[in-house]
Amino acid sequence: PQRIFSGMQPTSDSLHLGNYLGALTQWVALQDGYDPIYCVVDLHALTVNPEPAVLRERTRRTAAQYLAAGVDPSRSLLFVQSHVPEHAQLTWILSCLTGYGEASRMTQFKDKSAKHGNEGTNVGLFTYPILMAADILLYDTALVPVGEDQRQHLELTRDLAQRLNARFGADTVVVPEPYIVKATAKIYDLQEPTAKMSKTASSPNGLVELLDDPKVVAKRIRSAVTDTEREIRFDTAAKPGVSNLLSIYSALSGRTITDLEGSYEGKGYGDLKKDLADVVVAFLEPFQARFHEFLDDPAQLDAVLADGAERAREIAAPVLARVYDRSGLLPAR
Ligand code: ATP
Ligand code: MG
């Protein structure tokens, strides 16, 4: 079966609906017929300089959310990035194959660093896509289920994989493909429906967090930004807010956008928002119950992560050894 690899950053206490619909739902579905590896990418989260105790807690919470969403450790390998030192080691090799100009073209870096200015931006944020390439290439990954915002980073990963193969032999690493499901590839901020929903960039009212109080979530959906028309119609250019609500509604209910447009004909935005809030809350309540079961059993959670790390190293170590050897590094004997 084809290898799947993906990860999320523990940059917040809770994942949000964009993470869930854009990626996590696909992760769960790909457990059938594939060989998946899902990672909590805590090294990436260091780019926001978290408090140590907060990072540790968020790493556990992120893993517990994967499990609550349906990631099943008997079918998926689940681990924490920093438990497998090969990620940082391969990053160095890839860094030396990445052009400075090439790295400078990454739009996520431009967006994130613009907020902090030159002095407030760390080099880790700049090299983040190279660490991400290492994450993926270490596992001979075929498919990477992610949201649309990761497309450019995936393209860099592919370029680096091809460069390694051109320099050191065609079978050095596997060149991965992105797996991006169009309908949910980009869930937008409720208050700013042309910007993606983001753990670190969205304002609280723009987010639907999976672990928020359902009452708060319902209120945020009811106050989502729409437009001054009345018509409930999917049109991302003219009606980004309404279209985003329809996308979320469709993904969580399994109803098509056309079906939803039909059943809201002649109704108002208030009706749509109220019903969507009910759909979201009906999803969140059991999700949160499962999350707490996993979080409240840290011994079991840590055992799952320890087992995952051990199995991950067994896969990553020979891949790194292959790249080290072909790069001309003298073997330690
Ligand atoms: P941060 O603000 O810290 O970058 P994030 O919300 O972008 O957080 P990540 O941990 O960077 O979340 O990304 C985890 C996964 O979720 C990735 O596959 C990413 O493509 C996907 N994702 C993130 N935001 C969205 C979104 N708004 N819509 C769809 N997918 C998303
Ligand atoms: Mg992100």
Q: 21: Cβ–Cβ under 8 A, 6 or more apart, which residues?
A: 184, 187, 247, 248, 251, 252
Model confidence pLDDT, tens digit, residues 101-134? 999 999 999 999 988 888 889 999 999 999 999 9
Query: In ligand 1, which atom is closest to the CA atom of 184?
Result: 29
Whether 141 is in the pocket of ligand 1, judged by its Cβ within 6 Å, is no
**Amino acid 92: pLDDT:** 98
CA distance 312 to 291: 24
**Amino acid 332: pLDDT:** 87
**Amino acid 143: pLDDT:** 98
**Amino acid 218: pLDDT:** 97
Nearest ligand to residue 199 Cα: 1
DSSP symbols for 233-289: ---TTT-HHHHHHHHHHHHHH---HHHHHHHTTT--HHHHHHHHHHHHHHHHHHHHH
CA distance 202 to 204: 6
Per-residue pLDDT of the chain (333 residues; tens, 9 = 90+): 999 999 999 999 999 999 999 999 999 999 999 999 999 999 999 999 999 999 999 999 999 999 999 999 999 999 999 999 999 999 999 999 999 999 999 999 999 998 888 888 999 999 999 999 999 999 999 999 999 999 999 999 999 999 999 999 999 999 999 999 999 999 999 999 999 999 999 999 999 999 999 999 999 999 999 999 999 999 999 999 999 999 999 999 999 999 999 999 999 999 999 999 999 999 999 999 999 999 999 999 999 999 999 999 999 999 999 999 999 999 988
Whether 9 is in the pocket of ligand 1, judged by its Cβ within 6 Å, is yes
Query: In ligand 1, which atom is closest to the CA atom of 150?
Result: 20
**Amino acid 117: pLDDT:** 85
Extended beta strands in 87-228, E state: 143-145, 177-179
Query: What is the maximum span of the chain, computed from C-alpha positions, in angstroms?
Result: 76
Query: In ligand 1, which atom is closest to the CA atom of 202?
Result: 2
Taking CA 313 as the corner, what is the angle to CA 19 and CA 65, rounded to the nearest 5 degrees?
25
Answer yes or no: are the C-beta atoms of 196 and 206 closer than 8 Å: no
- In 3D space, the residue among 270, 269, 250, 268 whose CA is nearest the CA of residue 258 turns out to be 250
Cβ atoms within 10 Å of 26's Cβ, excluding its own: 21
The continuous run of DSSP H or E covering 304 comes out as helix 298-327
Cβ atoms within 10 Å of 33's Cβ, excluding its own: 8
Identify which of 27, 42, 149 to mutate to test ligand 1's pocket (most ligand atoms within 8 A of the CB): 149
Give SS3 for 33: coil
The residues carrying an active-site annotation are 112, 196, 199
Whether 59 is in the pocket of ligand 1, judged by its Cβ within 6 Å, is no
- In 3D space, the residue among 299, 281, 301 whose CA is nearest the CA of residue 291 turns out to be 301
Q: Tell me the pTM.
A: 0.97
